[in-house]
Structure 1
Amino acid sequence: MSERTWSPSAVELERRDFRRARTVRSAALSAVSTVVVLGVLAWLITHSAGWPRVQETFFSWDKAVDSFPAVLKGLWLNIRLMLICGVSILVLGLTLAIMRTLRGPIFFPLRLLATVYVDLFRGLPLLLLLLLLGLGVPALRLPNVPIELAFWGAVAIVLSYSAYVAEVFRAGIESVHPSQRAASRALGLSSGQTLRHVVLPQAVRRVTPPLMNDFVSLQKDSGLIAVLGAVDAIQAARIETASDFNYTPYVVAGVLFLCLTIPMARLTDHVARRQGWHGSGGTL
């Protein structure tokens, strides 16, 4: 007896042709509308009265080439800061979240400490923390205390971001249904084993997109250490600008930051879609 091969019906083929044609039509309309809008904006900008002056001051190719090595060298400090702070923030944020979710009266001091920490550093602006720590602590000249501006800038960023990340982790932990804990305890796991092997894996997986979004913000906010005088990409651009008041180095720094943040943002969207975060969104 020979196996019967399945083939789509005529109705199914028509549906596929219709969906394919609609997809092509939507893509064509999107491309045309995008080209028209960008073309109109480009024409309005380039034909404005002040465009020659703006082009000379912000988009000078010669100035961009001259300042690029210095700005790129400064960006290396931002990258190192992002990596070191990112790991520290994850560790500290997860620790704070676990402290806030501990049950029982014996853990009340830990819950109180974590709550005060989160409320304090979520309430203080990051820029204010940078100024207080980056300018205040080195001025005290305490023995055996680092005075590097980049170090205290990193400390301020970790303190501020860990408070927000702790709340993200806590939301993930508390989103795990209590039945998961009950089932784990019924199987003989201790509270610590339940947290490590059952609760945390689910919680981390659920909050991965928000955590990645916070890392995108961290990539940008690492440039705030320029207010302390540390020579990062923004400070290097400021130094290059001071020689002739041509602001093209700032544009160069902005482009370099975009090269870091845009791929990470697209990766965040991809992970979010895979986890169903955008499943109910609109379509073009």
Structure 2
Amino acid sequence: MTLDKQELYVPSARRIERERYRRARTRRATAIAATSTLVVGAALFLGVVNSPGWQRTRETFFSAEYARKAFPDVMQGLWLNLRLLVVCGALVLVFGLLIAVARTLRGPVFFPVRALAAAYTDFFRGLPLIINLLVVIFGVPALRLSGVTTDPVILGGAALVLTYSAYVAEVFRAGIETVHPSQRAAARSLGLSSGQALRYVILPQAVRRVVPPLLNDLVSLQKDTGLVSIGGAIDAVYAAQIIVGKDFNFTPYVVAGLVFVALTIPMTRFTDWVTARMDRERAQGGTV
């Protein structure tokens, strides 16, 4: 009868002592971190509530009555923000990838395409998003073009796609350029065309490497969907603004802000998890 190796293994006294020491250090560090956090939090809380204008600030920005009143309208408007995030996010990924591929095309014949793609990314990365939104939402209807919508939701979404496609294109292009040229050469030596090498060899590696920054851009897009309210679209921000305009209490703004924060935190933590996972795989040789 043979015994399993794990049954034969008995940790040494030194190993047991080392593990005990590590656990003690972890508990000590956790206790210190928790204590310091409580002390800092208590100091900030006491500093705010004991300030001379705290009573007026609480009534104006942190009213439970106005929070309950604003919450249903803000959540109804949030549905528009979520739809914009899904639709615009998908379009941004597609257009950004196409622009990035256009910028990496080789050969003198593709110079006009590369130049146009570079001009697009330079222009919309330099143009403030708020100005882009104002120009598209109010400028396009002023042209009175036949068959062109004047819906501020659609026009605002188009402006978001224009701006974020430029940022995402640079992320994709950076990922493509990190793939070693030998990968393309190896694909061509196997008989793949330039397009096939890009599709089956270069892009899979490039996209996998830029997932964390892409998720960060989507987090930013989720927040910036609230800017479509400047055109009159009733999203979470504009719903809060309507209530503020009637009652002159700013608590609805705080409610809308907290709702966006509640959406952003899970996406941010998911981005951190994906980044840490990819770093571990890269360290272990799991990612090409």
**TM-score normalised to structure 2 length:** 0.94
Q: Deviation at 1:12?
A: 1.2
Q: 1:65 aligns with which of 51, 65, 68?
A: 68
Q: Does 1:31 align with 2:34?
A: yes
Q: Deviation at 1:105?
A: 1.2
Q: 2:161 aligns with which of 158, 175, 191?
A: 158
Tell me how far apart the structure 2 counterparts of residues 193 and 140 of structure 1 sit (CA, whole Å): 42
Q: Deviation at 1:140?
A: 2.1
Letter in structure 1 aligned against 2:245:
A
- What CA RMSD, in Å, does the superposition of the two structures yield over aligned residues? 1.4
Q: Deviation at 1:113?
A: 1.3
Tell me how far apart the structure 2 counterparts of residues 189 and 9 of structure 1 sit (CA, whole Å): 57
Q: How does 1:86-105 map to 2 (within 5 A)?
A: 86-105=89-108
Q: 1:213 aligns with which of 197, 211, 216?
A: 216
Letter in structure 1 aligned against 2:117:
A
Instruction: Identify the residue that residue 120 of structure 2 maps to in structure 1.
Output: 117
Q: 2:44 aligns with which of 41, 45, 50?
A: 41
Q: Does 1:262 align with 2:265?
A: yes
Instruction: Identify the residue that residue 195 of structure 2 maps to in structure 1.
Output: 192
Q: Residue by residue, what CA displacement relative to the aligned partner does 1:217-239 show, whole Å, maximum 9, x if unpaired?
A: 00111111111121111111010
Q: State the identity %.
A: 58
Letter in structure 1 aligned against 2:119:
V
Letter in structure 2 aligned against 1:43:
L
Instruction: Identify the residue that residue 130 of structure 1 maps to in structure 2.
Output: 133
Instruction: Identify the residue that residue 243 of structure 1 maps to in structure 2.
Output: 246
Give the SS at the match of 1:145: coil
Q: Deviation at 1:202?
A: 0.7
Q: Deviation at 1:14?
A: 1.2
Tell me how far apart the structure 1 counterparts of residues 87 and 120 of structure 2 sit (CA, whole Å): 21
Q: Residue by residue, what CA displacement relative to the aligned partner does 1:140-177 show, whole Å, maximum 9, x if unpaired?
A: 22110000011110111100000010000000000001
Q: Deviation at 1:139?
A: 2.1
Tell me how far apart the structure 2 counterparts of residues 71 and 165 of structure 1 sit (CA, whole Å): 29
Q: 2:226 aligns with which of 217, 223, 227?
A: 223
Q: Residue by residue, what CA displacement relative to the aligned partner does 1:174-226 show, whole Å, maximum 9, x if unpaired?
A: 00011111111112222111111111111011100000000110011111111
Aligned residues: 279
Letter in structure 1 aligned against 2:132:
L
Tell me how far apart the structure 1 counterparts of residues 98 and 14 of structure 2 sit (CA, whole Å): 58
Instruction: Identify the residue that residue 54 of structure 1 maps to in structure 2.
Output: 57
Tell me how far apart the structure 1 counterparts of residues 47 and 114 of structure 2 sit (CA, whole Å): 57
Tell me how far apart the structure 2 counterparts of residues 191 and 16 of structure 1 sit (CA, whole Å): 55
> Segments of 4+ in structure 1 off by > 6 A?
none
Structure 1, gaps ≥5 residues long: none
Q: Deviation at 1:265?
A: 0.5
Letter in structure 2 aligned against 1:92:
F
Letter in structure 2 aligned against 1:193:
Q
Give the SS at the match of 2:248: coil
Give the SS at the match of 1:103: coil
Q: Deviation at 1:2?
A: 3.6
Q: 1:15 aligns with which of 8, 14, 18?
A: 18
Structure 2, gaps ≥5 residues long: 284-288
Instruction: Identify the residue that residue 286 of structure 2 maps to in structure 1.
Output: none
Tell me how far apart the structure 2 counterparts of residues 96 and 274 of structure 1 sit (CA, whole Å): 28
Give the SS at the match of 2:213: helix
Q: Deviation at 1:75?
A: 0.8
Tell me how far apart the structure 2 counterparts of residues 268 and 26 of structure 1 sit (CA, whole Å): 26
Letter in structure 2 aligned against 1:48:
S
Tell me how far apart the structure 2 counterparts of residues 79 and 175 of structure 1 sit (CA, whole Å): 33
Letter in structure 2 aligned against 1:142:
L
